[in-house]
Amino acid sequence: MAEPREWTVEDHLRDADPGAVRLWHRIDELILSFGPVTHSVAKTTITFKGPRRGFAGARPWRTGVRGYFDLMRELPPDPRILSASPYGRKLFVHQFRLADESEFDDAVAGWLREAYDVGCGAHLGP
């Protein structure tokens, strides 16, 4: 019986649209700049894990990037946010889609920074 194949970041990027790959790398570089982060790669996404837990995930999708991030609040409506759902008692998981690099702005960077705080355990405080 064959061993199950382990997915890699390269598997997700290999045949993706070049613009989507560039956008994914911009997101990856930003998240890695926040502090200790590891990738946990599955067939469906590339999850970003902070010191305490996973807090976001993203993968190239058609001409952009799709993914999610966890916040301790629900964001107001934004066309890049596809949905927001309660996750446990203190978190909301936000599904997002960025069509191209022009949608990757300071607001998105701020959301990802806030999500990194969740990855560091901010949601575990009082």
- Entry pTM: 0.93
Please, which pLDDT band fits residue 8 given cuts at 50, 70 and 90? Answer: very high
Q: What angle do CA 60, 50, 69 make, to 5 degrees?
A: 45
Q: Return the domain boundaries, the chain.
A: 9-114
| Predicted local confidence at residue 2, as pLDDT | 64
Instruction: Judge contact between 50 and 36, C-beta under 8 A.
Output: yes
| Predicted local confidence at residue 111, as pLDDT | 98
Residue 108 DSSP symbol: H
Structure confidence by residue, pLDDT tens digits, 63-108: 899 999 999 999 999 999 999 999 999 999 999 999 999 999 999 9
Alpha helices (H) in the chain, listed in sequence order: 9-13, 18-33, 106-119
